[in-house]
A = this chain, B = another copy of it.
Amino acid sequence: MPVDLPTPFVTVDADVLDRNLRAMAATAAERGLALRPHAKTHKCLEIGRRQVGLGASGLSVATVREAEVFADGGLDDLFIAYPVWPSPHRATRLRELAGRVSLRVGVDSAESAEALGTAIPGLEVLVEIDSGHRRSGVTPGCAGAIAVAADAARLRVRGVFTFPGHGYGPSRQRSAQEEEVAALAVAATSVTAAGLDAGVVSGGSTPTAALTTAGPMTEMRPGVYAFGDAQQLELGTCDWTDIALTVTATVVSRQGSRVLVDAGGKALGADRQPWATGHGRLLDHPEARIVALSEHHATVTMPDGAPLPSLGDTLRIVPNHVCAAVNLADELIVLSGGDQVDVWPVAARGANT
């Protein structure tokens, strides 16, 4: 049956989602790369299980709490793809997790290696390097030194990883991906030269995924590809037909050449890159623009001459950054052929700790 819910609500087109998951799985398989999708995008057990069912080696997660949620859901191979600091609460939870699933975490300093090794001896780690995004991670040539410190701290070093987040910009994908590969090659060599294991060489993101190949990389970790979003549309790294998730909103006001809909930053997320054309896009009106965003409302303008939607009409909004929009929803309404077929809880919503 068609969806009959108060707006705003979030829908996922299961057919488009399935096509996106299969396409990325095929890309990874063809290129000889392990695929470890980032689950921070969807935060859904059902989607994580589908990804693993289609061949993913496991999932990447953002936080210890996300790892706990997915472990509770039966996902048993998890990588916390950030440097983890083992504060007392977190150390206890990491020990518990490491006892029941295959767990790896990121490390990017000798000091955090020492703290992690003291708290959770034998924990598997990947050394994070910075390939140009300037967030976390050491310079590639220092990876070996961190690996040695980790090994001395009784951690089990399994390789290196990076996030080429600087690929989120117009025409930045190729250069970011080249920098990523070069940095990972240096890092892997640095770890191997120290006599330690660099079997996992992990990188990737949705913007750079189409350019990613094996050697030195062994693994890719895209997340957004499952749903697509307005950022990927505007970067040219997905098509309109790849958009699997939208937020449905109702037109509640019409003034002059603009309409106001009842979904704002608290439903869509407020992420806006400097190069974005607005605060999201409209799936059925590619030329429309979301020119302003309040907490509960978005202001939409239509191209010159196009009729304005009527009061009470619903519009399907493609969020700028789908990870932020999902984290604001309690559930995803699942559609197939336009009919509601399921409801998936956003199991890891708000799982920030």
A positions within 8 Å CB-CB of B: 4-9, 40, 62-65, 82-85, 87, 89-90, 93, 108-109, 111-112, 115, 130, 134-138, 165, 250-255, 258, 260, 262-263, 265-267, 269-272, 292, 294-297, 299, 311-312, 321, 323-324, 327-330, 350, 352-353
Contact = CB atoms under 8 A, between A and B. Distances in A.
22 contacts: A8-B352, A8-B353, A62-B295, A82-B296, A82-B297, A83-B253, A85-B251, A85-B311, A87-B250, A109-B253, A112-B252, A112-B253, A115-B312, A135-B299, A136-B253, A136-B260, A138-B255, A263-B352, A266-B327, A327-B328, A328-B350, A329-B350
Given A8-B352, A85-B251, A115-B311, A296 B63 contact: yes
Contact of A330 (B87, B93, B350): B350
B311 A6 contact: no
B299 A255 contact: no
Nearest to A295: B323
Contacts of A324: 265-266, 270, 295
A5 B89 contact: yes
Contacts of A115: 311-312
Nearest to A312: B85
The 4 nearest A-B residue pairs measured at CB:
A6-B353, A136-B253, A6-B89, A85-B252
A78 to B, nearest CB: 15
B135 A262 contact: no
Contacts of A93: 6
**Most chain-B Cβ atoms within 10 A of its Cβ — which of A40, A138, A252?**
A252
Contacts of A253: 83, 108-109, 112, 135-137
A266 B350 CA distance: 7
Given A40-B295, A87-B312, A294-B135, A7 B263 contact: no
Nearest to A264: B352
Nearest to A128: B253
B265 A296 contact: no
Contacts of A134: 255, 258, 292, 299
